[in-house]
Structure 1
Amino acid sequence: MSSEIPTNGKPVKTTGLHVGDAAPGCKKVDPILVADGVKRTFGGLTAVDVEHVEIPRGAITALIGPNGAGKTTFFNLLTGFDKPDEGTWSFEGRSLAHVPAYRVARMGLIRTFQLTKSLDLLSVMDNMKLGATGQSGENLFRGLIPSIWRKQDDQIEEKALEILTRFKLDAKKDDYAASLSGGQRKLLEMARALMSDPTLVMLDEPMAGVNPALTQSLLDHVLDLKAQGMTVLFVEHDMHMVRHIADWVLVMAEGKVVAEGDPHEVMRDPAVIDAYLGAHHDTDLGSTDTGHVTALKELIDDEQ
């Protein structure tokens, strides 16, 4: 649905999440995360060189691109797990420059990892409880007096059990995290992220290595995050999944954002086709071993 909002005294057409044309760096109606001039190099390799990006609030945004495009490195920079060579970025209008990862998380920006980070020798419940913030028992002196933190700990455990039940992991609450399957670990990591009541959840390849039987469950939980009022930014290679659940798509190639927009439009963007297909333009893509390239070709054919 389109509307008109004033900018510098002039009406500017807005459509859904963005203002004006859907082009790299386009302005969003209500951005929750903004990055400007973020650059990261490793020796002579430029891994990330993002001129300007805005992530729309309350939407599911997919970050896609070929292998080596810089997607995970960009995630690491935004969440404090790596430091850029230059650039500024903010969350909810507050600068994240020089803010360590644990403080970023406390601000409401939570991320998961491509390789899950569960603590294997702790129970599923204990992994969940570690995700809660502001625990009185974490203080050395208060921790010595159970009467100070016991009630809060009971409340945290009750909340953790409710979330585990929603993720169908409640039966595993007393099991070691090491005993979970790859897909269950993905579910646990997503569930643990909710313990801190985040505003923005960033998921790095949530479907990677997941048994097909759990894929739909994970998809449902991603959609549920949005339904609960959270913003989602995720990295994914499954083009069919991106097209069906993402409200907005960002495309990276060689460290840069080369396209963004509605999933159906982005799949037909020449810059996206070039980024994925590259030298394969004149080859039989069906015979390549790059699954996401073939998937993109199929989606392009579907759209035409």
Structure 2
Amino acid sequence: MSSNATPSKGAPVKSTGLHVGEPAPGVAKVDPIIVADNVTRTFGGLKAVDVAHLEIPRNAITALIGPNGAGKTTLFNLLTGFDKPDTGTWTFAGTSLAGVPSFKVARLGQVRTFQLTKALGLLTVLDNMKLGAKNQKGENLFRALLPFLWRKQEEEIEAKALDILQRFKLDAKVEDYAASLSGGQRKLLEMARALMSDPTLVMLDEPMAGVNPALTQSLLDHILDLKTQGMTVLFVEHDMHMVRHIADWVVVMAEGRVVAEGPPHDVMKQQAVIDAYLGSHHDQDLGATESENVEAMKELLHDED
């Protein structure tokens, strides 16, 4: 553990239910579901991720934020087995995931969605959902030839899929091809499909990116509902108002490192966060998304005053 995670000798230890000690990069959590140490990833001469120590609290919604190029999605890819780090170890629910491929990570209960959805466009919505179920008997070549071995399970999987689709208000699209869905509906489908494997941790990479405003509230409600159902949520997001609205804990990255952690109302006021979003842009032309993000930070800081 990094020195930041351990209170100085003789200092009082504070606990807020999620963390122990003063909120700072690498602060210890009361019940962490992910613990990562010395995770680095370099592309050419650029160190995209350089995380000394990070713990993600269980049964909470954690937002991973930071300016463009901070390393958020790269860290996501490393933790879920979609990329390999140069160095580092990490555990999920006490099990080491270093070197474990993504499909095995998902089987352990850690699933993710993507900024660009991965729905299979030439399959129906229902078939996409069925693919999300784990331990299917019919996946074995020999058993696939003997329907009586898997038919009952297939019926149970379909019933579960229809129930989840109804909760996500996609039941009217059951027989539609996934390619025909809107961007927001594909986000909903990807989140719904993730629930087919009964995950413990759901990781969402920019769940609101490209979503029609009419579906934004629906997605927010579903993310909050994941926590209500006992799941842990870790998500990357650029919408600061959304982060403050639903996150229990915020981790801030800049230039590959974790520069701040804390409850959303507190972390927004930390100097490291202000510098990450505002200080690095004085002499740069910003894109539309980043400009909106900077303005949102200013609004939030103003609201807190």
TM-score range, shorter chain: over 0.9
Shift of residue 16 of structure 1? Answer: 2.1
Show the counterpart of 2:156. Answer: 155
Give the deviation of 1:279 after TM superposition.
4.1
1:43-82 superposed matches below 5 A: 43-82=44-83
Counterpart residue number, 2:21: 20
Number of matched residues? 296
Helix, strand or coil: the match of 1:122? coil
Letter paired with 2:129: M
Alpha-carbon separation, structure 2, partners of 1:52 and 1:279: 24
Structure 1 residues 58-207: aligned runs within 5 Å? 58-207=59-208
Specify the code of the residue in structure 2 equivalent to 1:183: G
- Structure 1 residue 14: deviation in Å? 1.1
Residue correspondence of structure 1 range 232-247 to structure 2 within 5 A: 232-247=233-248
SS at match of 2:175: coil
Instruction: Return the TM-score normalized by structure 2.
Output: 0.94
Separation in structure 2 between the aligned mates of residue 107 and residue 155 of structure 1, nearest angstrom? 21
Residues of 2 paired with 1:282 and 1:140: CA distance? 60
Partner of 1:41: 42
Provide the C-alpha distance between the structure 1 equivalents of 2:297 and 2:12, rounded to a whole number of angstroms: 37
Report what 1:302 is aligned to: 303
The percentage of counterpart residues that share the same residue type is 78
Residue segments in structure 1 that go unaligned for 5+ positions in a row: 1-7
2:293 maps to what in 1?
Answer: 292
| One-letter identity of the residue aligned with 1:40 | R
Distance 1:260 1:70 in 2: 16
Q: CA deviation at 1:197?
A: 0.2
In 2: Cα distance, 1:9 partner to 1:172 partner: 60
Q: What is the Cα-based RMSD across aligned positions, in Å?
A: 1.9
Alpha-carbon distance in structure 2 between the residues aligned to 1:289 and 1:256: 19
Instruction: Name the SS of the counterpart of 1:41 in structure 2.
Output: strand
TM-score by length of 1: 0.94
In structure 2, relative to structure 1, the CA distance for the partners of 1:91 and 1:264 (3 Å cut) is: same
Aligned residues of 2:202 and 2:233 also touching (Cα < 8 A): yes
- 2:271 is the counterpart of 1:274: no
Aligned to 1:3: none
